[in-house]
Amino acid sequence: MPLQTAISWLTLTVGITWPTRTRRALALVVLAAVLTGCSRQWTSRTNDASAGNDTTVESAAVQYHFDGTAMDWYTIYDNTLAAGWQSWSWGTTPAETDTAQTDGAENSLQRAMAVTYDDVWGAFYLHNDQPIPGAKYDALRFWVHGGRQGGQKLKVVLVDESNSFLPDVAYVDVPADVWTPVEIPLARLGAPWQITGIAWQDATGIEQPTFYLDEIALVDLNLPPTPTPPPVAGPVLSVDVAADRRPIQPEIYGINFGDEALLTQLNIPVRRWGGNATTRYNWQNDVSNRAADWFFENIPNENPTPQQLPDGSAADHFILENRLMGIQSMLTVPLIGWTPKSREIACGFSVTTYGAQANLDPWRPDCGDGMTPDGAPLTGNDPTDTSIAIDPTFVRAWLTHLLQQFGSGAQGGARYISLDNEPMLWHHTHRDV
């Protein structure tokens, strides 16, 4: 596999001296760049899940620069966030932590950023409204510490001036009990013309321990410009679009919710009622629980005639709109065993009941995120604070209601039934029940 096409975990351990980090172990993680003029060698393993097995990538020479006097630095975090930077994180609790409070992550300064993923695929995301000129810098540099446990796997991605996450990413394997300097060439991260954000995302989809970041900066390494390779003529390709054609089922295409204008523009054949909120939707009182997406809150759908429920619910209107537009409906039904008990707003982790928490709903400050201020998940809460238990009869009654209201799928009713939403993530997303 050519090196430049692999998405790889690259780990290089070298003996170095870093003046500002003399108490840290001498380790360096260098990610996905081929620079010139150094004899150190590494091999790596691809992080391509489609490969099905480990693939050894060819060795390459890696050059690095550590002479601080030769670099231009743009500091993003060093004991505190630089002016203009703010956390736009999701599914994550970031907290500036004193050295004495860190999990073995003592450093030569006083503070570090402790990052705890509350949800799988969460991200520590730093944003600046004023774009930073990416062309001025060669690399993203930071220090990372895995705490006592270590083993975290992070995906690092840049955000451009349109607030779009770039497709080029780098992966970091975090060691335990050591501060590790990480340097990622911006060319490896898409070389954006302007940068408005950086995200460190959970790359595993499973629970990971808290890790620590410090001295986050963009650096100019005074590298010579990369020579432009001479053009190489590629193969001549031709495609016979009329060969071996056969019809496909158009209803393999669809969208989750979406408004009428978009549905019409895209000529969508199937529209899905799905997502985390549908796992605990109560068709009888027209209420969903937002789970970990929004403080585990029961939030009723707007309904001008709630006294007529279950007729006229948001789900009823969803199917009716689809019928009028000639779109098939895919309906997610709850199998989790719990559903909101009333149309009153309630939350799974009340501060009054369960104590102080890391993050609170700014509009309902009694509703917390179910994490203690030090980042540990709250346990032992009562599911009946928000919900009532349900069984398959609840779902059968809903399908009977829809059949009576709209007929079968062939008649414009719910044509496809989805058995709940992402059950493999319930233990994170719906951990209040």
Beta pairing partners, 60: 42
d(CA 240, CA 237): 10
Q: Which long-range CB contacts under 8 A does 364-370 form with residues at least 24 apart?
A: 364/295, 364/297, 367/295, 367/296, 367/297, 368/295, 369/93, 369/118, 369/292, 369/295, 369/296, 370/118, 370/292, 370/296, 370/431, 370/432
Q: In the chain, how many H helices and how many E strands?
A: 5, 25
Of 203, 220, 237, which residue constitutes the final position of a domain? Answer: 220
**Contacts (Cβ under 8 Å, ≥6 apart) of 87:** 81, 94, 124, 125, 126, 127
Tokens of 323: 């019928």
Residues 257 and 214 reside in one and the same domain: no
Q: Report CA 259 to chain centroid distance, whole Å.
A: 24
- Residue-level pLDDT at 132: 95
pLDDT at 8 exceeding the cut of 70: no
Residues 215 and 264 reside in one and the same domain: no
What is the pLDDT averaged over residues 389-399? 98
Kindly report, residue by residue over 325-359, the tens digit of the pLDDT: 999 999 999 999 999 999 999 999 999 999 999 99
306: nearest Cα among 321, 286, 320: 286
Residues 336 and 423 reside in one and the same domain: yes
- Residue-level pLDDT at 102: 52
Contact 77/126 with Cβ under 8 angstroms?
yes
Kindly report, residue by residue over 69-123, the tens digit of the pLDDT: 446 889 999 989 999 999 999 999 888 876 544 555 555 446 899 999 999 899 9
In the numeric block, the tokens 């233990």 are attached to 427
Domain boundaries, position 15:
3-220
Residues 186 and 282 reside in one and the same domain: no
Q: At what angle do helices 392-406 and 314-325 cross, to 10 degrees?
A: 40
Compute the chain's Rg from CA coordinates: 26
pLDDT at 233 exceeding the cut of 50: yes
For residue 236, being part of any structural domain is answered with no
For residue 241, being part of any structural domain is answered with no
What is the pLDDT averaged over residues 397-408? 97
d(CA 415, CA 275): 18
Q: How confident is the model at residue 317 (pLDDT cuts 50, 70, 90)?
A: very high
d(CA 243, CA 314): 46
- Residue-level pLDDT at 333: 98
Residues 37 and 83 reside in one and the same domain: yes
- Phi first, then psi, for residue 49 (nearest 5°) are -65, -25
- Residue-level pLDDT at 433: 97
CB neighbourhood size of 4 (10 A): 8
- Residue-level pLDDT at 96: 80
Residues 97 and 19 reside in one and the same domain: yes
Contact 97/212 with Cβ under 8 angstroms?
yes
DSSP code string of 59-90: PEE------GGG-EEEEEESSSBPTTEEE--B
User: DSSP character for 32?
Assistant: S
d(CA 329, CA 189): 39
- Angle (CA) 166 169 171, round 5°: 155
b/e map 94-122, b = 16+ CB within 10 Å: bbebeeeebbebebbeebbbbbbbbbbbb
For residue 25, being part of any structural domain is answered with yes
For residue 369, being part of any structural domain is answered with yes
- Residue-level pLDDT at 374: 84
**Contacts (Cβ under 8 Å, ≥6 apart) of 427:** none
Specify the number of domains making up the chain: 2
CB neighbourhood size of 285 (10 A): 20
pLDDT at 55 exceeding the cut of 60: no
What is the pLDDT averaged over residues 185-203? 94
Residues 269 and 213 reside in one and the same domain: no
Residues 204 and 255 reside in one and the same domain: no
Residues 397 and 314 reside in one and the same domain: yes
pLDDT at 50 exceeding the cut of 90: no
Residues 311 and 363 reside in one and the same domain: yes
d(CA 35, CA 61): 7
What is the pLDDT averaged over residues 353-379? 93
Of 220, 239, 261, which residue constitutes the final position of a domain? Answer: 220
d(CA 121, CA 90): 9
Percent of the chain clearing pLDDT 90 (strictly above): 69
Residues 37 and 175 reside in one and the same domain: yes
For residue 361, being part of any structural domain is answered with yes
Considering only 33-42, 188-197, 280-289, 388-397, which range has the smallest mean pLDDT?
33-42
For residue 243, being part of any structural domain is answered with no
For residue 77, being part of any structural domain is answered with yes
Q: What is the residue type of 185?
A: P
d(CA 298, CA 207): 25
Contact 102/96 with Cβ under 8 angstroms?
no
- Residue-level pLDDT at 106: 54
Which CATH number belongs to the domain containing residue 254 in this structure? 3.20.20.80
Q: What is the value of pTM for the model shown? A: 0.53
In the predicted model, what is the mean pLDDT of the chain? 82
pLDDT at 126 exceeding the cut of 90: yes
For residue 399, being part of any structural domain is answered with yes
Q: How confident is the model at residue 229 (pLDDT cuts 50, 70, 90)?
A: confident
- Phi first, then psi, for residue 13 (nearest 5°) are -110, 125
- Residue-level pLDDT at 56: 26
Which CATH number belongs to the domain containing residue 115 in this structure? 2.60.120.430
Residues 99 and 44 reside in one and the same domain: yes
Three-class SS state of 196: strand
- Phi first, then psi, for residue 69 (nearest 5°) are -70, -15
- Label the pairing between strands 270-273 and 255-256: parallel
